[in-house]
């Protein structure tokens, strides 16, 4: 074990380095995340490593570089391809993060299945499960027709040799926290191991033009154990979210060098693996109550796709001096702000009321366009007056109580119409720019005072 000046303190959450122990990390503001580890040896930068990117010393004209859009490999899982920006780019490094047990291994094994069906060569390296266990999972997913190569290994030197020998098109590493490099003396999953391992995998990916999927487990509070360090090294970061107890899972693009971010893919966990959900709005609105106060449907844009969600509010008299407020699935501070706006601009007395806001279905929505729906749900619950259940609302609410325009209003209205809604309450500015759409009533509002005059 290294001692003294070979040791350094790392933040387990973001990889911040410090010569001495700190209670709170200056990088990510997490508490008690510092651990002492040996310094990482400088192997990642060594020359003549197998698979190392050859560095062109001559500059090249941009017009001389040939690219081909067909180069992207489609996984044939539509939801994943869209989040990736239209398929997997060869030579890219893709991090798939998520809570343990959310379905990362299942998704990637399904990707392997689709790709081997397309006659691509795929190497699945697991450091967590035995060959038999992987086979058992594969059996649940379906028949594997192509050749999928499996390897149970955690030593990166061996993995590197195998990749160099087999030269697959795609490699899956499950998970990065189990991989280790012998020259780094700290344990697998530690900051220096994870950093070193990712560095090596990146060189392999770029050098040989192999797309590598890396699985990373999120431990506490949405941080991949150790490897927030990983996020800036890889090309694409996808997070798998969702309540473990609910059936659906959301794959969210957080970073993408080859496509847009904030795109989401929706899946449902079935007994035969993950199934794509083609129409998430329908799925999210399942079980919506009828004739209940404090409930309205909002339309939020996730990437390029409008999704309808139910916003619920429960406002009741507070038995304590300080009222309780909670927000599930949306920003707590935003809810507080909106309540202050309602109090000041609509004159409702909320200061002695508890308020609980919930985005039904467990999905997280932070787009300001759901402001209007939150305001309407709060007002509806406060007044105990249900809103017509065929109504949706969207719009951003400002501090003066004005309802501001939002982007892509037409797509949102069309999505609502598709699901059988008959009335749409939206910002006046957006409504004015909208062509009339048959079969749905458009109500433009300029301020939140206007919603008081609506019929609910």
Interface with Mg ion (CB under 5 A): 105
First to last CA, the chain: 70
Between 105 and 330, name the residue whose CB sits nearer to Mg ion: 105
- Contacting residue, 26, 50, 78, 100, with ligand TYD by CB under 6 A: 100
Strand runs labelled E in 192-292: 211-217, 236-241, 248-256, 264-270, 273-276
How many Å apart are CA 171 and CA 302, to the nearest integer? 29
Minimum CB–partner distance for residue 162 and Mg ion (Å): 20
Between 140 and 344, name the residue whose CB sits nearer to ligand TYD: 140
Among Mg ion, ligand TYD, none, the one that 257 touches (CB under a kind-dependent 5 to 8 A) is none
**Is residue 271 part of the contact set for ligand TYD (CB under 6 A)?**
yes
How many Å apart are CA 302 and CA 346, to the nearest integer? 30
- Contacting residue, 25, 94, 102, 377, with ligand TYD by CB under 6 A: 102
Closest C-alpha among 147, 363, 92, 139 to residue 271: 139
Please confirm whether the linkage preceding 145 is cis (ω < 30° from 0).
no
Minimum CB–partner distance for residue 103 and ligand TYD (Å): 4
Minimum CB–partner distance for residue 133 and Mg ion (Å): 10
**98 labelled ligand-binding:** yes
Contact criterion met (CB below 8 Å) for 195 and 40 = yes
Question: Across the strands, what pairs with 108?
Answer: none
* CB closest to Mg ion, residue no: 105
- Contact region with ligand TYD (CB under 6 A), list: 9-17, 264-272, 330-338, 373-381: 264-272
Contact criterion met (CB below 8 Å) for 194 and 127 = no
**Is residue 101 part of the contact set for ligand TYD (CB under 6 A)?**
yes
Binding-site size for ligand TYD (CB under 6 A) equals 14
3-class DSSP state of 347: coil
Minimum CB–partner distance for residue 134 and ligand TYD (Å): 10
How many Å apart are CA 264 and CA 392, to the nearest integer? 22
Between 105 and 198, name the residue whose CB sits nearer to Mg ion: 105
- Contacting residue, 72, 82, 104, 195, with ligand TYD by CB under 6 A: 104
- Contacting residue, 29, 46, 119, 140, with ligand TYD by CB under 6 A: 140
Between 33 and 105, name the residue whose CB sits nearer to Mg ion: 105
DSSP 144: -
**Is residue 97 part of the contact set for ligand TYD (CB under 6 A)?**
no
**Is residue 269 part of the contact set for ligand TYD (CB under 6 A)?**
yes
Q: Is 294 exposed, middle or buried (0-12, 13-18, 19+ CB in 10 A)?
A: buried
**127 labelled ligand-binding:** no
Q: Given CA atoms 7, 199, 147, 141 in this order, what sign does their dihedral have?
A: positive
Token pair 């999972």: residue: 137
Among Mg ion, ligand TYD, none, the one that 293 touches (CB under a kind-dependent 5 to 8 A) is none
**99 labelled ligand-binding:** yes
Contact criterion met (CB below 8 Å) for 103 and 234 = no
Question: Across the strands, what pairs with 404?
Answer: 396
Element (H, E) at 160: helix 156-166
3-class DSSP state of 70: helix
Contact criterion met (CB below 8 Å) for 348 and 339 = no
Closest C-alpha among 421, 327, 410, 409 to residue 374: 327
**91 labelled ligand-binding:** no
**Is residue 272 part of the contact set for ligand TYD (CB under 6 A)?**
yes
Between 218 and 355, name the residue whose CB sits nearer to ligand TYD: 218
**102 labelled ligand-binding:** yes
Minimum CB–partner distance for residue 179 and ligand TYD (Å): 15
- Contacting residue, 12, 33, 75, 106, with ligand TYD by CB under 6 A: 106
Minimum CB–partner distance for residue 96 and ligand TYD (Å): 9
Minimum CB–partner distance for residue 255 and ligand TYD (Å): 19
Minimum CB–partner distance for residue 307 and ligand TYD (Å): 23
Between 140 and 257, name the residue whose CB sits nearer to ligand TYD: 140
How many Å apart are CA 406 and CA 396, to the nearest integer? 7
b/e per residue, 245-267, with b = 16+ CB within 10 A?
Answer: eeebbbbbbeebeebebebbbbb
Among Mg ion, ligand TYD, none, the one that 272 touches (CB under a kind-dependent 5 to 8 A) is ligand TYD
- Contact region with ligand TYD (CB under 6 A), list: 224-232, 271-279, 395-403, 429-437: 271-279
- φ, ψ of residue 106 in degrees (nearest 5): -65, -45
Between 102 and 111, name the residue whose CB sits nearer to ligand TYD: 102
How many Å apart are CA 122 and CA 115, to the nearest integer? 7
Token pair 């119409």: residue: 417
**101 labelled ligand-binding:** yes
Among Mg ion, ligand TYD, none, the one that 100 touches (CB under a kind-dependent 5 to 8 A) is ligand TYD
How many Å apart are CA 203 and CA 53, to the nearest integer? 6
Annotated binding site: 98-105
Residues in contact with ligand TYD by the rule CB under 6 A: 98, 100-106, 137, 140, 269, 271-273
Annotated binding site for ATP: 98-105
């Amino acid at each position: 074990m290294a001692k003294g000046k070979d040791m350094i303190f790392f933040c387990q959450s973001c990889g911040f380095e410090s010569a001495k122990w700190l209670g709170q990390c200056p990088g990510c503001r997490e508490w008690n995340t510092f651990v002492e580890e040996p310094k990482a040896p400088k192997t990642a930068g060594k020359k003549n490593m197998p698979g190392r990117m050859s560095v062109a010393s001559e500059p090249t004209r941009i017009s001389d570089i040939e690219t081909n859009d067909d180069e992207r490999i489609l996984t044939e899982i539509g939801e994943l391809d869209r989040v990736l920006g239209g398929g997997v780019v060869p030579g890219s490094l893709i991090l798939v993060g998520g809570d343990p047990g959310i379905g990362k291994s299942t998704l990637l094994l399904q990707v392997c299945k689709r790709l081997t069906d397309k006659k691509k060569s795929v190497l699945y390296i697991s450091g967590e499960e035995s060959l038999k266990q992987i086979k058992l999972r594969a059996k649940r997913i379906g028949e594997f027709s192509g050749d999928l190569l499996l390897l149970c290994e955690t030593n990166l030197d061996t993995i590197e040799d195998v990749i160099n020998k087999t030269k697959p098109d795609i490699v899956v590493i499950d998970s990065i926290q189990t991989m280790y490099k012998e020259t780094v003396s700290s344990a697998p999953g530690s900051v220096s191991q994870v950093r070193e391992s990712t560095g090596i995998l990146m060189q392999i990916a770029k050098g040989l033009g192999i797309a590598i999927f890396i699985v990373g487990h999120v431990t506490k509070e949405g941080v991949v154990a150790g490897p927030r360090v990983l996020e800036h090294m890889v090309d694409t970061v996808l997070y798998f979210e969702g309540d473990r107890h609910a059936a659906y899972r959301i794959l969210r693009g957080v970073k993408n060098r080859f496509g847009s971010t904030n795109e989401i893919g929706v899946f449902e966990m079935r007994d035969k693996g993950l199934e794509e959900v083609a129409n998430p709005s329908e799925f999210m609105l399942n079980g919506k109550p009828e004739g209940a106060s404090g409930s309205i449907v909002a339309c939020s844009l996730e990437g390029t796709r409008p999704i309808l969600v139910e916003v619920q509010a429960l406002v009741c008299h507070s038995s304590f001096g300080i009222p309780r407020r909670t927000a599930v699935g949306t920003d707590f501070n935003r809810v507080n702000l909106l309540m202050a706006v309602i109090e000041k601009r609509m004159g409702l007395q909320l200061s002695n009321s508890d308020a609980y806001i919930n985005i039904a279905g467990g999905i997280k929505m932070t787009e300001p366009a759901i402001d209007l729906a939150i305001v309407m749900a709060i007002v509806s619950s406060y007044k105990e007056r249900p809103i017509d259940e065929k109504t949706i609302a969207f719009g951003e609410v400002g501090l003066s109580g004005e309802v501001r325009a939002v982007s892509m209003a037409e797509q949102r209205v069309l999505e609502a119409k598709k699901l059988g809604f008959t009335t749409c309450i939206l910002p006046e500015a957006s409504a004015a720019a909208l062509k009339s759409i048959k079969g749905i009533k458009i109500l433009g509002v300029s301020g939140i005072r206007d919603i008081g005059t609506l019929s609910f």
